[in-house]
Amino acid sequence: MNGVHDMGGMDGFGKVEPEPNEPTFHAEWESRVLAMVRAMGAAGAFNIDTSRFYRETLPPHVYLSSSYYKKWFLGLEEMLVEKGYLTRDEVAAGHAMQPGKALKHGTFDLANVERVMVRGKFARPAPAPARFKIGDRVRAKNIHPATHTRLPHYVRGHVGVVELNHGCHVFPDSAAMELGENPQWLYTVVFDGRDLWGEDGDPTLKVSIDAFEPYLDPA
């Protein structure tokens, strides 16, 4: 979706402000939010792409004015309500008012902790041969899906070169909408900075994205 989360190339957000000796969390609640998201995901309440989509669909003013873990919290709460794991009455009351819905992988307990400490595997067997090879010139499609996509707006319509082939991966555009994994070839495609940003762009700049095959046309 063309949301405010798709920030590449936007102006006006000001300077980057690194924080010396930054703590892992700035408040205890941030750590509880992180743990709840990881736990409920591992328990099977949602997949990682769906959770990203819920954060992206926060209203733009909320997205831009909320801290990172606040966004995680708001996305988590809304997602769990919409998927029937809790009700708005329960959220308002701060207590459970009816039994829980069955989770695909059961209660998240101590025995499950190690599972969240290993990154998921997203490679899948290829359903078809790769359409592009390294060195091919490709054009990022000019598409504007209203749902989750990983094709950032700033490359759409531009021509780049395939630099790496990562194999077939779960397609987030499908997974986020719970339409199945729909594996697609994944490539690193590199663009010239001046193609993206015009003749005033930094002539020494090259930018790459990781692009799923359905985002690309031959050029």
Partner 1 sequence: MSHDYDHHHHDHDHSELSETELRVRALETILTEKGYVEPAALDAIIQAYETRIGPHNGARVVAKAWTDPAFKKALLEDGSKAIGTLGHVSRVGDHLVVVENTPQRHNMVVCTLCSCYPWEMLGLPPVWYKAAPYRSRAVKDPRGVLADFDVALPKDMEIRVWDSTAETRFLVLPMRPVGTEGWSEEQLAELVTRDSMIGTGFPKTPGAPS
| Subset of 85-144 contacting partner 1 (CB under 8 A) | 85-86, 90-91, 94-96, 99-100, 103, 107-110, 112-113, 116-123
Is residue 162 at the binding interface for partner 1, with CB under 8 A as the rule?
A: no
Query: Minimum CB separation from partner 1 for residue 200, in Å?
Result: 10
Query: Minimum CB separation from partner 1 for residue 48, in Å?
Result: 9
DSSP 197: H
* Residue tagged 């920030």 (tokens): 7
Pick between residue 64 and residue 128 the one whose CB is nearest to partner 1.
64
Q: For residue 152, what are its two tokens?
A: 């950032």
| Of residues 126, 130, 95, 100, the one with CA closest to residue 40 | 100
Query: Minimum CB separation from partner 1 for residue 150, in Å?
Result: 4
- 72 within 8 A of 55, measured Cβ to Cβ: yes
Q: Which member of 35, 126, 179, 219 binds partner 1 (CB under 8 A)?
A: 35
Is residue 22 at the binding interface for partner 1, with CB under 8 A as the rule?
A: yes
Residues between 163 and 192 with contacts to partner 1, criterion CB under 8 A: 164, 166, 169-170, 172, 186, 188, 190
Using H for helix, E for strand and C for coil, what is the string for 20-78? CCCCCCCCHHHHHHHHHHHHHHHCCCCCHHHHHHHHHCCCHHHHHHCCHHHHHHHHHHH
Query: Minimum CB separation from partner 1 for residue 23, in Å?
Result: 9
Name the region of 94 (left: φ>0; alpha: ψ -120 to 50; beta: rest).
left
Is residue 17 at the binding interface for partner 1, with CB under 8 A as the rule?
A: yes
Residues between 195 and 214 with contacts to partner 1, criterion CB under 8 A: 196-197, 201-202, 204-212
Per-position DSSP letters for 141-192, written without gaps between them: -----SS-----GGGTT-EEEEEEEEEEE--HHHHTTTS----EEEEEEEEE
- How many residues interact with partner 1 (rule CB under 8 A)? 91
Q: What angle, 0 to 180 degrees and rounded to 10, lies between the N-to-C axes of helices 28-42 and 48-56?
A: 130
Is residue 13 at the binding interface for partner 1, with CB under 8 A as the rule?
A: yes
Q: Which member of 57, 77, 159, 214 binds partner 1 (CB under 8 A)?
A: 77
Query: Minimum CB separation from partner 1 for residue 136, in Å?
Result: 18
Is residue 40 at the binding interface for partner 1, with CB under 8 A as the rule?
A: yes
Is residue 7 at the binding interface for partner 1, with CB under 8 A as the rule?
A: yes
Q: Is 106 helix (H, G, I), strand (E, B) or coil?
A: coil
